[in-house]
Structure 1
């Protein structure tokens, strides 16, 4: 089946977000990143910053049985009473699941992060990718983009990726960055962001192609 939807998972500092945006621009299809957070915040009533921050932390106790219960009640999603025993983080996951599935249903698009590769894993029209690069490349890139911080670039990379890894494991049961979870893994430090975007765009079937 043709691939219409691109999901982009990425190491912090690898340029995955920029690559995903470039693909969307080349193919003239929607690009979803912070839009996912915005819609989750809108549906739950939580502040967008709160949604973004909680989306990177994995709770210590799982309540996934409640999640599947809620997923079976789509009419309840988005209502405060849908929490029904869920932790805040798990409730946000339920809504995130619904938002991403709905975005994919609307047609060709690029979705960055948010466990979108797992949420859409049963769709045949998706191309799941992971963008990575050497620590040196990523450290230099975040210094250039974000400047110095209280922590060293290496510690910032480790902290951010550690949260993503734990969050992904908690909600999916899979190992973040493991090649078997994706159709394609690209080293942006070696290939360059522009080349990565070109390669990914060439693998998608977008409107008019």
Structure 2
């Protein structure tokens, strides 16, 4: 496989997680989504729900993120005891993502993994999106999103992800320049998106 690590960023309801799992299964590599959250929760001691929300929807300063990427935090310039819980989770999550990418071929969903691993040449960074109608249908059917005003809920989720991504990366979430490949799952369907990613990864 020419690309050892595949990162999947996705709009809420676009099926990005499902596509990522399909890709991992076809390539025979590890898949990290909730599995990554569990690793962070175990190592940090924080509740799983807290880690899940903080790791993708938090909005703290990007300063500590940039320091952690540069390795300053891990060299002891900052004491873990002085950091807010959200920052501790973010830095630990970043370190674990880098460790996983170094350890073995894998697929990683969300968590700004594309940016965290941006200096690696063996990564394929993918963004999955879809039109609102497709996302609403999937969200209502699979995630128990209320059918009364699903568009607002989906928009809020994506806004929070975009905000978190900008704060920690100083980049625009979903902008094509930040990824090697963007796919419309509403047009291609999940299986075709999977096939395209697998073909490129190989």
Fold agreement, TM-score > 0.5: yes
1:33 corresponds to: 33
Deviation for aligned residue 1:27: 0.9
Structure 2 length-normalised TM: 0.91
2:72 match = 72
Between the aligned partners of 1:166 and 1:141, the Cα distance in structure 2 is 23
Tell me if the contact between 1:58 and 1:170 (Cα under 8 Å) persists in the aligned partners. Answer: no
- The equivalent of 2:157 in structure 1 is 160
Report the CA distance between 1:83 and its aligned residue: 2.2
Query: Is contact 2:7–2:109 with CA below 8 Å preserved after alignment?
Result: yes
Aligned counterpart, 2:7? 7
- Tell me, what secondary structure is at the counterpart of 2:7? strand
Length-normalised TM-score, structure 1: 0.88
Matches within 5 A, 1:79-158: 82-149=79-146, 152-158=149-155
Measured after TM superposition, the shift of residue 74 of structure 1 is 3.3
Q: Secondary structure at the match of 1:122?
A: coil
CA drift at 1:144:
1.4
Q: Which residue of 1 aligns with 2:167?
A: 170
Q: CA deviation at 1:23?
A: 0.4
Given that 2:62 and 2:169 are in contact with CA atoms closer than 8 Å, whether structure 1 keeps it comes out as no
Q: Distance in 2 between matches of 1:69 and 1:101?
A: 10
- Superposed CA deviations along residues 154-204 of structure 1, whole A, max 9, x for unmatched, are 011111101101111111110100100000000000000000001101111
What corresponds to 2:47 in structure 1? 47
1:20-50 CA-to-partner distances (Å, cap 9, x unmatched) read 0000111111101011111111111101111
Instruction: Please list the CA deviations of residues 34-78 of structure 1 after superposition, one character each: whole Å capped at 9, or x if unmatched.
Output: 1111111111110111111122333354542784399335376xx
